[in-house]
Structure 1
Amino acid sequence: MTTLNGTELKGHDTLVVGGTGNVGFFLVDGFLRAGARVLVPSRSPQNLERLRSRLGAAADRLVPVNGDIGTAEGAVQVQAQVRDLSSELFAVASAPASWHQSHSMLQAGFAEFKHVIETRLYPHFLAAEALLPLIALGGSYTTINGPAGFISPPPPGIGAIAVAAAAQNKLIEAIAAETAGTPRVNDVVMKAFLGPNGTRPGSPLRGEQVGDFVAALAAGGTHVHNRTIQLASPRQIDEALAGNFALA
């Protein structure tokens, strides 16, 4: 089985938005296994400590950043702290959103729909606005999306999260068009089932494979920009680790 060798991002500073979450843990783990130093913003010291505990010895290259990047004020504060902690980021992976499901989009009401948009979509804009100016011109910004926004039509129970996911994809495409590849910006639609205790049974991909792919994309995907990458097959990870992103 091909995996990271620890040199892909050695000597580079990276950052994971949502790094204490179910998906974010594997992104942090992947960057660390690629040799990077990893900054992780969080408003919860307890979550950061849990992350450190899960990472074990690799956590010596974990740099906690106290702040909430999910609000406009918090994003500005996180940006200022990151400037102090790092002269330049090489890669950012953003996974601030979590799953949401209700019995009906209409019957759930406007308040719930508004909550989903504010907590699943807005943080992607705030993170990009705050962090893209800190990334090296040859660096990488990768957002993690889910497949809900690409199901047509989405089942009623996932309508709200499908709207947020589809909007995220267009948001990232618009941002990528503005950066013109410096830095590279991509949206990875991850088809993996990840929970608080790791990869869930029946998942097409393991969490470690997702981390491998995002780290490999940051390190070696030098010509991959403004792409919506449907990440669903272990073969894609093997190819990416070999420097081939034709399947991405």
Structure 2
Amino acid sequence: MIVPLTRRKKCGALYERPAPIEPLLIQLAALSRDELVERAAIRDRAHPEYVPSECVLYFVRASRRDNSDAWFERLYKILVERVLRSVPRAESGGNSTSLTSERIRNLVFDRFVEMLASDRRQADDKLDFFEVRFDLAIKRLRLDAQDLAWREESRTRPLDDEGDGALSADVEAAEVSSNPFDDDIFSDPIFRERLYSAIDSLPPEQSRTMHLLLLGWPTYSSDPEVMTIAKALQCSDRSIRNYRERAMKTLAALFNHGNDQ
């Protein structure tokens, strides 16, 4: 018998696995453990015997009832490998972009493993949505991790090159138009904190765009190997320009030159 999900939606209805998943779980449960692991190890989603991550997670969680660490570990290795393939891999070089990507990757991995470990100790419903929409659930973890990593980075990285309050060259090159801020006010830590708070209050896409701009991420690059804001947020360059312009208009209204800031 396939164990039903217990998490409820806001409307009160129980989460339900997608129609193809439930019968597939029944078929997979009839396989030997070696056969199941062999199929779960298939990476190609187009392969006829590919096992969706929703199913792999189900059997990882179900291994708690078997009280078998060895069985858990075999499936666990496959599952976490899928999680890591879903988050950005840090590039070599040790620059701001690669370090932030590594931070995002670690945050997603740590949060997923934390939920899995908690569920293994005692069943709860935090992972139920992952059994319904695994890729979407991982994407949400990634977006949350991006927000946290970018905010941590923007609060610790100086905005000036030489300590004179001038914006760094890479930030100026980020194509921010109609900048409402005087260069010298960035040396004021109180203003800087107020600015970050204001950015945090913007709509998510605008907030993420502004945090990355302040970190010096480019909005566009002709080099396909360069990570841009558009690539990080999985949208078009035009969308990023729109997010930037809307954010700057809002910030300009909050921090205009006429106010005693």
TM-score, with structure 1 as normaliser: 0.26
Compare CA radii of gyration and give the structure with the larger one: 2
Higher relative contact order (CA 8 A, sep 6+): 1
TM (norm. structure 2) is 0.25
Higher share in helix: 2
